[in-house]
């Protein structure tokens, strides 16, 4: 059996993926491994790039965007490794990143899954861990909660310098035991994009297994490049995924309260952001863009959350 199966889902990120795969070569020199790329219908010559520069890679070329969870599951069905390492295509790995993750898993049998420390290109830290969504975290300012209750809501500012048990990971770089996935199930394909890793961590916790954060395993993350091309649709998917998580894991009444609360919150944001657009005479592109995205989200709710308004409608 191979030690590691690396699974990468790509969607119109050809150059970022090429850089990621080059860094992956250096990071897997001494590890028995395979690399599986699942492309979700890219139209930027990603397929020809992989065939030209990385012919050894196992390539699954979907004709359409099947969503992140579904594509990950396609990779899992093909894998032959003891561990599955899920990587976003917009990552650069350090030479010792994967060694540190594998060593941690090998020496901590209670760990079902572990995530790396995500870095911005300038070396500053990104949030790499998260809590399971609740009405408190979703209806109030999460940054304020992390500031006021540092122990309950750890963040990139917490100064974590050793592996710790966490609730959930930001899934850009995470390693998981294949036998755990065989027991609890693969990614839930009801999630098209966002929070599929949160749902997975939740099911791992329910199975009395542990989720770990390994802060000395670093990756550079060029955050959200594919979604930033369609920010309104990406935001819709984020809201939709939150509702799916609540409906599945929190129950009907918390789900309804969340939906009502977020509609009210969006209404206030439209008023505040509209005032911002007025005060800046519509000349500030960031203020204007945020305002129109908020209106789009509000209308999506008013029209009863139609499927075609998100990434799944492309």
- What are the pLDDT digits (tens) for 41-74? 999 999 999 999 999 999 999 999 999 999 999 9
The pLDDT tens digits of the residues spanning 179-220 come to 999 999 999 999 999 999 999 999 999 999 999 999 999 999
Pair 27, 84 in one domain:
yes
Question: Can you spell out the DSSP letters for 23-84?
Answer: HHHHHTTTS-EEEEEEEES-SSSHHHHHHHH-TTSEEEEESS---HHHHHHHHHHH--EEEE
Percent above pLDDT 70 for the chain: 94
**pLDDT class of 1 with cuts at 50, 70, 90:** confident
Domain span including residue 273:
230-313
- Number of compact structural domains in the chain: 2
pLDDT at res. 54 = 97
pLDDT at res. 227 = 65
Q: Which of 180, 202, 221 is the last residue of a domain?
A: 221
Neighbouring CB atoms inside 10 A of 162's CB total 8
pLDDT at res. 144 = 74
pLDDT at res. 157 = 64
- Residue 58 to residues 47, 79, 236, 272, Cα–Cα distance (Å): 11, 10, 32, 49
Region 140-149: mean pLDDT is 74
Spatial distance between the Cα atoms of 303 and 240, rounded to a whole number of angstroms: 14
Spatial distance between the Cα atoms of 91 and 171, rounded to a whole number of angstroms: 12
The pLDDT tens digits of the residues spanning 268-277 come to 999 999 999 9
The whole-model pTM stands at: 0.93
pLDDT at res. 279 = 95
Q: Which of 171, 190, 221 is the last residue of a domain?
A: 221
Q: List beta partners, residue 212.
A: 114, 165
Mean pLDDT of the chain: 94
Of 180, 111, 90, nearest to 100 (Cα)? Answer: 111
Quick check: 314 pLDDT over 70?
no
pLDDT at res. 228 = 67
Pair 48, 119 in one domain:
yes
- Residue 87 to residues 35, 90, 220, 224, 252, Cα–Cα distance (Å): 10, 8, 11, 13, 33
Q: Which of 161, 192, 221 is the last residue of a domain?
A: 221
Pair 120, 269 in one domain:
no
Pair 161, 237 in one domain:
no
Is 228 within 8 Å of 234 (Cβ atoms)? yes
């Amino acid at each position: 059996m191979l030690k590691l199966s690396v699974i990468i889902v790509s969607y119109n990120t050809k150059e970022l993926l090429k850089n990621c795969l080059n860094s992956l070569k250096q990071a897997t020199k001494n590890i028995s491994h395979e690399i599986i790329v699942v492309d979700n219908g890219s139209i930027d010559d990603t397929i020809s790039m992989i065939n030209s520069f990385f012919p050894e890679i196992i390539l699954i070329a979907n004709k359409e965007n099947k969503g992140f969870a579904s594509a990950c599951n396609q990779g899992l069905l093909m894998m032959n490794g003891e561990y599955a390492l899920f990587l976003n295509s917009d990552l650069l790995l350090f030479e010792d990143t994967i060694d540190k993750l594998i060593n941690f898993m090998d020496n901590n049998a209670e760990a079902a899954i572990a995530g790396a420390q995500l870095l911005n290109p300038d070396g500053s830290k990104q949030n790499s861990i998260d809590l399971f969504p609740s009405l408190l975290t979703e209806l109030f300012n999460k940054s304020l909660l992390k500031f006021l209750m540092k122990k309950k809501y750890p963040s990139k500012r917490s100064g974590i310098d050793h592996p710790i048990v966490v609730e959930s990971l930001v899934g850009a770089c995470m390693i998981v035991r294949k036998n755990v996935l065989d027991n609890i199930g693969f990614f839930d394909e009801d999630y098209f994009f966002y929070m599929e890793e949160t749902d997975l961590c939740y099911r791992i916790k329910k199975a009395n297994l542990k989720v770990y954060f390994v802060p000395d395993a670093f990756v550079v993350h060029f955050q959200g490049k594919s979604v930033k091309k369609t920010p309104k649709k990406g935001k819709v998917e984020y809201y939709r995924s939150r509702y799916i998580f609540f409906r599945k894991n929190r129950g009907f009444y918390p789900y309804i309260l969340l939906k009502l609360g977020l509609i009210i919150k969006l209404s206030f944001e439209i008023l505040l952001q509209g005032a911002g657009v007025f005060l800046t005479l519509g000349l500030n592109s960031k203020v204007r863009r945020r305002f129109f995205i908020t209106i789009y989200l509000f209308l999506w709710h008013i029209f009863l959350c139609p499927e075609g308004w998100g990434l799944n409608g492309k």
